[in-house]
Amino acid sequence: MALIVEKFGGTSVGDVDRINAVADQVAHTKTSGVQLVVVLSAMAGETNRLLDLGARVSPASEHREIDVLISTGEQVTIALLALALEARGVRARSYTGDQVRIVTDNVHGKARILDIETHRIEADLAEDRVVIVAGFQGQDLEGNITTLGRGGSDTTAVALAAALNAGECRIFTDVDGVYTADPRVVPNARRLSQITTEEMLELASVGAKVLQTRAVEFAGKYGVTIRVLSSFEEGPGTLISQEIDEMEQPLISGIAYNGDEAKLTITGVPDEPGVASRIFGPLSDAHINVDMIIQNVTGDDTTDLTFTVHRNEFAKAKEILDATAQVLGASEVIGDQTLAKVSVVGVGMRSHAGIAARMFKTLADEGINIQLISTSEIKISVGIADRYLELAVRSLHRVFGLDESPEHEMLGPAVD
């Protein structure tokens, strides 16, 4: 019997009516003769409500206790869905992260999954129960409750799909699939019917916002097939898998952006071995995610180094970098909080020259200055002033033929 993991996000379980609708849908899927594991987020707004309660008793957020507090959000929805399914005659059983147990490291608020015990879930599936698991949460090796960070329920779902060797991991969300660009920025963006995990990873990490990056990483690493679907309307969604037919491979799959970047440059750094690790070690210790890193050669015995972080982490990163600069005897630290990043992504660009040149020319034609460039095998990203963000995304979407040309729509049949 096929095993499917389905994940419903916060808006999909936003109130009792929505939970009843999810119960109807899950009950219907169950009758088609599959084994089902359902992963749920907290009701939309609940995590913020709990964080607000926490903020009202303590200005500092003691992470262990914040995790105890906010993990109640998913515990409420899993119990409600189990009740709703039982009311429909569907046998179901709910589990919190630590009941499963989903073992994580001990970085509260940003924990990573280390292992998942599957025996309780498998025993319930064997007895034909729908198993409902709280997303976003786990338990560290000492038994403390941990959470995976915003969007962590996606990771829970994909990790469960990997651990249980599920045929498909369906992520139900408030959009009906992955688009060539954010439809709020590019109104005539198109839904992709297929995309590779690798492309999705590049899209997610630069801000496509459909799926959490770690979830896609997990999917790539363990060969999990994901389908992104709308929980509000029927449709085939977008299939995300490791390989798709080369013939149907478009040149560029999509344009992604992130308007919340900040840039930090440290100049006059002695150009000697080990200096990069002395710069990024303290940032990593503080759990600050560094995105693009560019090192410029200056010609003398010093070098300049630029990197980007999320704007929320700018102040903390600058403080750490200032301290590092003093230790290293660097010249100065320059910060800029008005950066945006725009990326073109596509596995197809591996075998096609000229994508970069076309991208840079498009931006130049619009009068947009490029501050940073960073490339990977399937992605080219540029840093620009954030006021040009929409203009850049729309121009690139048009120039790379994503607006309407049918040759770029992937035609592979929906797998079900």
Residue ranges binding its own copies (CB under 8 A): 16, 19-20, 23, 50, 53-54, 56-62, 64-66, 68-69, 71-72, 75-76, 78-84, 86-87, 92-94, 96, 98-99, 120, 143-145
Residue closer to its own copies, measured from CB, 115 or 245: 115
Residue closer to its own copies, measured from CB, 110 or 120: 120
Residue closer to its own copies, measured from CB, 144 or 196: 144
CB of 278 to its own copies, least distance (A): 33
Residue closer to its own copies, measured from CB, 54 or 335: 54
Residue closer to its own copies, measured from CB, 50 or 385: 50
CB of 161 to its own copies, least distance (A): 23
Residue closer to its own copies, measured from CB, 19 or 339: 19
CA–CA separation, 381 and 345 (whole Å): 9
Residue closer to its own copies, measured from CB, 134 or 317: 134
CB of 44 to its own copies, least distance (A): 15
CB of 124 to its own copies, least distance (A): 12
CB of 21 to its own copies, least distance (A): 11
Residue closer to its own copies, measured from CB, 7 or 93: 93
* CA-based end-to-end distance of the chain: 14
Residue closer to its own copies, measured from CB, 57 or 297: 57
CB of 28 to its own copies, least distance (A): 17
CB of 8 to its own copies, least distance (A): 14
Which amino acid is residue 379, in one-letter code?
Answer: K
CB of 13 to its own copies, least distance (A): 11
Query: Per residue, what are the HEC states of the chain?
Result: CCEEEEEECCCCCCCHHHHHHHHHHHHHHHHCCCEEEEEECCCCCHHHHHHHHHHHHCCCCCHHHHHHHHCHHHHHHHHHHHHHHHHCCCCEEEECHHHHCEEECCCCCCCCEEEECCHHHHHHHHCCCEEEEECCEEECCCCCEEECCCCHHHHHHHHHHHHHCCCEEEEEECCCCCECCCCCCCCCCCECCEEEHHHHHHHHHCCCCCCCHHHHHHHHHHCCCEEEEECCCCCCCEEEECCCCHHHCCCCCEEEEEEEEEEEEEEEEECCCCHHHHHHHHHHHCCCCEEEEEEEECCCCEEEEEEEEEHHHHHHHHHHHHHHHHHHCCCEEEEEEEEEEEEEECHHHHHCCCHHHHHHHHHHHCCCCCCEEEEECCEEEEEEEHHHHHHHHHHHHHHCCCCCCHHHCCCCCCCC
User: What are the contacts of 317-320 at 24+ separation with CB within 8 A?
Assistant: 317/262, 317/264, 317/283, 317/286, 317/288, 317/290, 318/264, 320/282, 320/283, 320/286, 320/288
Please list the residues that pair with 407 across neighbouring strands.
none
CB of 98 to its own copies, least distance (A): 8
Residue closer to its own copies, measured from CB, 42 or 240: 42
| Non-local CB neighbours of 58 within 8 Å, separated by 6+ positions | none
Residue closer to its own copies, measured from CB, 38 or 195: 38
CB of 6 to its own copies, least distance (A): 18
CB of 61 to its own copies, least distance (A): 8
